[in-house]
Structure 1
Amino acid sequence: MHKTVDLKVKYFGTPVVLLSTRNPDGSANLAPMSSAWWLGDHCALGLGDSAQTSANLRRERECVLNLVPSGLVDVVDRLALTTGRPDVPPRKAAMGYEFVPDKFARAGLSGQPSDLVRPPRVAECPVQLECSVEQESPLGTSGSGATVFHVRVLRSHVAEELVLPGTHYVDPVGWDPLIMKFCEFFGAGSAIRPSRLAEAWEMPHGGVLTH
């Protein structure tokens, strides 16, 4: 039997991406996000309009999508309630967000130069996708406060151990992505740690996440 529910969150499970962009002063911004899906060499990114990342994408028209393995869950959580905007939007401030000018330092990650775009790649991420922004459109009505950015993958970098020998394919068994499911972190199909983002969204935690 089904129950009719007014779902507060509809994150049924998507991979976590560390999205690197360039700030107006040329420094790097790094934002964790999970509203992303791919088809062919294109990807759709869903972002809030108040995010520094959105402003950077509109201005610079390029980014790097760094796909996160489950082993970096602690690193991602350090960035969960941070923003690259010095003027933290009131709604985010109320949720506990803080301005962090150097996200790489906060996360303990290393940047490495990209080949075709200016934002750096995340050295610790085994899959890095250099992208250009091709178009953008509001999500739903114009007042939704969110935008879908359509990007095209220009170049893909994959850790050698994840490439099936003699092919251009990623080993699906060796690749264990960090998954965001209903604001909680999962890897290899299991919950792996509580999420600060889930606390900010007042999401209920199951027993497996609170022990």
Structure 2
Amino acid sequence: MHVDSHTAILYFGTPVVLVSTVNEDGSYNLAPMSSAFWLGWRCMIGLGSTSLTAQNLLRTRECVLNLPSVAEAAAVDRLALTTGADPVPEKKQQRGYRYVKDKFALAGLTPIAPGTVAAPRAAECPVQLEATVTAVHRLGQDDPAQYGRIITFELKIRQVHLDTTILLDGDPDRVDPDKWRPLIMSFQHFYGLGDKVHPSTLAQIPERLYK
């Protein structure tokens, strides 16, 4: 049986992403989020327009998408209820957020130099994707009360860095899904992947055909 529901959020389960950007003063920001999806080497992410990450992306047009595994869950959680925006936006104040200048240090993660963008990579994350902004879209054009409060960014992946521990044996260009254990957020809670539940017909298509 189904019932009509008015749940406040629709986070049914997506990978956690730590977005690293460069602040106006040259320091680094690191923000956890999970509103992201990929199509080929393009990625769409959604952010609140008042967030420092959104403002940095609008200004610099680049970032690194760091994907933590389940092993980095505690580091991600240390960033909860923190913001690099000073003063803290009113909506975030209401939710208990506080200002933190060095969020890499707070999380216990190490910033390392990237190759194609100025934003740093998080060394401990098994997946690091250097990206540039190719398009910006403000959500809610049909609702004046909501318009512009959320911004979606289309990102083009410029460089992919993968930890060798998650690669298919003998193939540096393929991730082994049996080794990769992404951190998943589902309705504000952290989860990991379970065992494979069923053979996949799509998995029979060689990945090279998607390039």
TM-score range relative to shorter protein: 0.7 to 0.9
TM-superposed deviation, 1:77: 0.7
Unaligned runs of 5+ in 2: 196-211
Q: Distance in 2 between matches of 1:162 and 1:140?
A: 38
- Distance in 2 between residues matched to 1:149 and 1:159, nearest whole Å: 26
* Match in the other structure for 2:56: 56
**Which residue of structure 1 lines up, in the alignment, with residue 205 of structure 2?**
none
- The structure 1 residue matched to 2:152, chosen from 131, 148, 151, is 148
- In percent, how many aligned pairs have the same letter? 49
Q: How does 1:1-211 map to 2 (within 5 A)?
A: 1-141=1-141, 143-167=147-171, 168-189=173-194
Instruction: Report which of the two structures shows the higher radius of gyration computed on alpha carbons.
Output: 2
Deviation per residue, 1:134-193 (Å, 9 max, x gap):
010012326250010000000000001211133311010100000000111101349xxx
Superposition RMSD on alpha carbons, in Å? Answer: 1.2
Alignment TM-score, normalising by the size of structure 2: 0.87
Taking the aligned partners of 1:144 and 1:56, their CA distance within structure 2 comes to 16
Q: Distance in 2 between matches of 1:189 and 1:14?
A: 14
User: CA shift at 1:65, angstroms?
Assistant: 0.2
Q: What whole-Å deviation, never above 9, does each CA across 1:34-89 have from its counterpart, x for those lacking one? A: 00000011000000001000000000000000001011111111101000111101
Normalising to structure 1: TM-score of the pair? 0.87
Q: Which amino acid aligns with 1:66?
A: N
In structure 1, the residue corresponding to 2:43 is in which secondary structure? Answer: strand
Q: Deviations over 1:96-144 (max 9, x none)?
A: 1001000001111101100000010000000000000001001232625
Say which SS state the counterpart of residue 74 (structure 2) adopts: helix
3-state SS of paired residue (1:74): helix
Alignment coverage as a number of residue pairs: 190
Distance of 1:100 and 1:16 partners within structure 2: 20
CA distance in 2, matches of 1:188, 1:66: 18
Unaligned runs of 5+ in 1: 191-211
- Aligned partner of residue 135 in structure 1, secondary structure: strand
